Structure 1
Amino acid sequence: MPPDATGRRVRTGAELRRLRGTAGLSGEQVARALGWSQSKVSRIEGGVHRITVNDVAGLIDLYGVGGDVRAELLAATAADSGEGAWIVRTGGAPSPRSTAAAPQPVTARIRHHQPVVLPDLLQTREYARSVINAAGGDDPDAVAEGRMRHQEILTTANGPQYDVVLDARALLLAAAPVDLIRDQILSLAIRAQRLPRLDLRVIPLGRPSATFSPVGFTLYDFRAPDSPSVVCVESPTAESYFATPEDLQRYATLFTALRDVALPDVESVRYLRSLASDVERYLGNPALCANE
């Protein structure tokens, strides 16, 4: 067992206990929902029971935990069990009922690349509702509200540095009315200027590049010294996590290469404002998006 495994397990258990309280669930209710004994829940929360990634995934799904908190708890658990990569199945969008209401500054830095859809942390409420509805999510209003609360980590004290590289094609996803897409793009430009810990870069439509990623990915660097960094790659039914030094270096290198392809921060803001003013042309003529 690594020398810090017991301390990491105790800290993970304490955080799971806090999240259960935030969700308004008793230990007995959790045990019943997951088909466990109540004593197993108590041992996990006390840090005296070795837990698996699947155990933690079941708990945080029940509590509605998403984003960086979810990634940290899974990464800490995997480090305890010696796993360098793992897959966690998901049932769709996280439940909105709990932890988004109490954002925690668990990360020091988040690096996010998205070629398809805007990150949750940058969506407007109306745009989020439309995207969730288009994806067939349950209760779009509640999930969108949860995303708005989670976005508080970008403005709260000790929040993370958030570095984002967006492919402009993600900005033109026709999953919302044109006016909402325009407002969303303008919101990105405003946030990029106003949020000091947000570094937003955009890869313009048609920009030549020898580097690309067919999927979005997120690198999390956590504040706690015993929480290893991790990469998350999402799909509609599962999240794949990678924590080996080799995997982390590969994704970090890819992120840096994509950032180099993107426009600098000030030029990205200008590009966003220009794109917003002409969004109808692109959405009305999809061929232009490929040939610009």
Structure 2
Amino acid sequence: MDDGGDRVSDISKVGIVGCGPMGSGLAEVCAGAALDVIVAVSSPESARRGRERVTASVDRAVRKGLTSEAARDALLDRISFTTELADLADRELVIEAVTEDEAIKLDLFARLDRIVADPDAIFATNTSSLPVMRLAQATRRPEQVVGTHFFNPVPAMPLVELTGSLLTAERTVERVEGFAIKLLDKEVIRSPDRAGFVVNALLVPYLLAAMRMVESGVASAEDVDRGMTLGCGHPMGPLRLADLIGLDTLAAVAAGLYDEFKEPLYAAPPLLSRMVDGGLLGKKSGRGFHSYQG
């Protein structure tokens, strides 16, 4: 397999749709690679929050001595925000990082297909569980649609899962692989176009099993997490990791896995569903299996 490491990427103008934790992380690493980045968001308030996320992340890097103030300022200058999707018309690569909802992603790709002018432009989805093939069918260029599953937090996590559908051109996969390795300094593994790809197909059943332990009264959330960190050497317990991912996101990923495979281990336990219904989404809402107030 070509690892893309000996190619200089031909991609210089990147569009990102969405600026939550994932979108802001993507904006940061792309701008850090000296790329021209436009982030499309739904409202001026989303733009403000997104810029604050990026700024806070780069400021932490300055405090840790990982970058200079001048490099931080240059990075931030390379990111612009817009509420108009049409402003992505000249992009060579557009990565969507919107909510894990198939209908929303399908509508977005159909709109991008009409807007982006470059006939060689690549559309990438950061989906955790949805088939790339289904999303690609919303466009007239499915051979240029690929899955690029980054991990949160994007600046710190080295892995990208790269997934082409049965219709994705090998040249598309190679261009994105070179982009991720050469420009973003990421490690890439290729995954088949199946729900969950490689990592989530292994990770999600583990997280759901931890929730079932709590739900059935076998152990508390604190003891489950302490057991896996102190007993197995994991850097983070499964329930604290679930809180970091977002319980709503995890529920959506589990639903996608269960829809494809119909395996009981992928079925979300009732406790997870009730927590999502109640707005207990994990760290981003201040409370999940653990409390993050203050």
TM range (shorter): under 0.3
Q: TM-score, normalised by structure 1?
A: 0.26
Q: TM-score, normalised by structure 2?
A: 0.26
